[in-house]
Amino acid sequence: MRNSKIAILFSLMVTSISASAMGFTVEQGKTFTNLNMEIGKTSSGVYLESNWLKNTKNGSQIGGAGLGYNLEFGPIMINAGTKATYLGPKKGDNGIAFPVGGGITIAFTDTLNIYGEGYSAPKGLTNSVKNYVEANGGISWTPFTPLTLKLGYRHASVDGKDGRPGHTIIDGPYFGGGLTF
């Protein structure tokens, strides 16, 4: 009985995601590049996302995949989710983190939004650092469908453990663009 409930829940999630929009975004900061792919992030329901973030100055990188749920309340979209993230900060503390967090998007018009999100993985959800945090926020503008342009700020850092210092992996403003189908 339990297996059939899990199978039904899984099939509902797959159906929900398969009917959702898919998007690809590239963000470029002074010292970093972020590539992102998502399915269902712009509508209510379950979403999937993945990203690869590289510090072009020192070679540090982060890559991951996540799952979450969006709730829409008129012009406001709230989401909560979790990720599996590979940390490669090049400081001897490479490993995996499972950050939990969420975000909010507020639509001012059909084409102009502000957004923000944050995720954190404390000691129990990482294997190589005391804490991992990431945050992202900004303004997005959709001049015409399917194009969206973004201007924002991104931060990712770790608190070291076992004598390794904490350090910032990514920190700074960016400009980005993406397509949603």
**Residue 11 maps to a domain:** no
**Residue 151 maps to a domain:** yes
Instruction: Summarize pLDDT for 144-177 with one digit per residue, the tens.
Output: 999 999 999 999 999 877 777 788 999 999 999 9
Instruction: Summarize pLDDT for 93-128 with one digit per residue, the tens.
Output: 789 999 999 999 999 999 999 999 999 999 899 998
| Cα–Cα distance, 2 to 23 (Å, whole number) | 34
pLDDT at 24 > cutoff 60? yes
Cα 6-12-15 angle, rounded to 5 deg: 140
pLDDT at 14 > cutoff 60? no
In terms of residue numbers, what domain contains 40? 21-180
Give the 3-state secondary structure of residue 19: coil
**Residue 14 maps to a domain:** no
Model's pTM, two decimal places?
Answer: 0.86
Residues 139 and 150: beta-carbon distance below 8 Å: yes
pLDDT at 18 > cutoff 80? no
DSSP class of residue 89?
A: -
**Residue 5 maps to a domain:** no
CATH value at residue 144: 2.40.160.40
Dihedral through CA 80, CA 179, CA 23, CA 172, nearest 10? -50
**Residue 173 maps to a domain:** yes
**Residue 7 maps to a domain:** no
pLDDT at 71 > cutoff 80? yes
**Amino acid identity at 122:** P
* Residue 111 vs residues 73, 106, 149: alpha-carbon distances, Å: 17, 11, 10
**Residue 41 maps to a domain:** yes
Please list the residues that pair with 87 across neighbouring strands: 62, 95
**Residue 3 maps to a domain:** no
Buried b or exposed e, range 30-62, using 16+ CB within 10 angstroms: eebbbbbbbbbbbebbbbbbebebbbeeeebbb
Report how many domains make up the chain.
1
